[in-house]
Amino acid sequence: MLRHLADYRKWWYILSVLLIIPGTISLVFFGLRLGIDFTGGSLIELQTPAGTQASEVREAFGEQHGEPVVQSTSAGTYQVRVKQLDPSQYNQLLGQAVAKLGKGTEELRFETVGPSISRELRDKAFLSVGLGALLILLYIAYAFRNVPKPASSWRFGVTTVLTLLHDILFVLGAFSLLGYFTGLEVDATFVAAILTAVGYSVHDTIVVFDRIRENLVKRVGGSFVGTVNYSIAQTLVRSLNTSLTLILVLVAMYLFGGESLHGFVLALLLGTLIGTYSSIFNAAPLLVSWQQWAEKRSRKS
């Protein structure tokens, strides 16, 4: 079966749809849980006395600066998000919280982001992903310009971008579900992780596509689908081994890295997993489906 992956492409498409449907539904109804990088406001992380409940922390901060959003962390601390605070408001609010929570309450972190900065970050995040996809399309279309007919370099480029959109949608959906059920937030590092995962996925896809191009020139495999199957078989072990080494490193970073790295590493890990899958089981099969559709259309005309 592994030597005839493209022949089973309908099954890979079904699996891909099943992978992204839950997250897509979550994105539509719940969206992403945005951190202060994108929403603006102030974030305070506190170490509180043992046994302190989230409701107690929420009550200690009151509502004079908007209803506080309180979230516990795996390190046993609490993160409190409120509206943007100036220095005097922050000192007053922190003093009030420490007095109510009692001895042993300690501030570990304080961050504040204004609404204009958060809006700019959000806009640049969308722009960076969109611009990246466009540049990838143009680069691959140019790099594969000498691919033998009837294959088309633009099909290689468009197929790569479609695969990337699939990967991004999967990661966004996963973080939407995690945000709804566990409170996981996305921040500026999440965008960096998405772009890094996209770059890795493109690299993996290009390795497969480049082998397809070489085999088309050599006329290896007979039909187009035969050439694609042969090319996937040639690059499969390399792709899996390369991905596995990266995945092991990311798992180690997630397990033993700091709390602040978890979101970034998790996004990279999910992006690498889905990117490895899509570059093998989606990108090349999509190329075959498009080629066969074009051939049928040309015969009818």
CA distance 48 to 53: 9
pLDDT at 171 (0 to 100): 94
CA distance 213 to 231: 9
295, 150 Cβ separation under 8 angstroms:
yes
CA distance 132 to 200: 13
pLDDT at 299 (0 to 100): 73
Q: 187: which residues sit within 8 A by CB, 6+ positions away?
A: 35, 36, 37, 38, 263
Token code pair at residue 54: 């989230």
Using DSSP's 3-state secondary structure scheme, residue 272 falls into helix
CA distance 53 to 77: 11
CA distance 267 to 173: 11
CA count, 13 A, side-chain hemisphere, 141: 12
- Split the chain (301 residues) into runs of 10 and give each run's mean pLDDT: 68 92 94 78 82 82 73 79 78 82 82 67 77 83 79 84 91 93 83 84 86 84 82 86 91 82 89 91 88 77 62
What is the amino acid identity at position 33?
R
Asked if the peptide bond before residue 150 counts as cis, ω within 30 degrees of 0, the response is: yes
113, 41 Cβ separation under 8 angstroms:
yes
Q: With b meaning 16 or more CB within 10 Å and e meaning fewer, what string describes 45-62?
A: bbebeeebeeebbbebbe
Torsion of CA 273, 275, 281, 285, to 10 degrees: 170
Using DSSP's 3-state secondary structure scheme, residue 166 falls into helix
> What domains can be seen in the chain, in order of their start residue?
2-35+117-300 (1.20.1640.10), 41-113 (3.30.70.3220)
**66: DSSP letter:** B
Starting at the earlier edge strand, list the strands of the sheet with 78-82: 69-72, 78-82, 41-47, 106-113
Give the H/E segment covering residue 41: strand 41-47
pLDDT at 3 (0 to 100): 56
Token code pair at residue 35: 């951190």
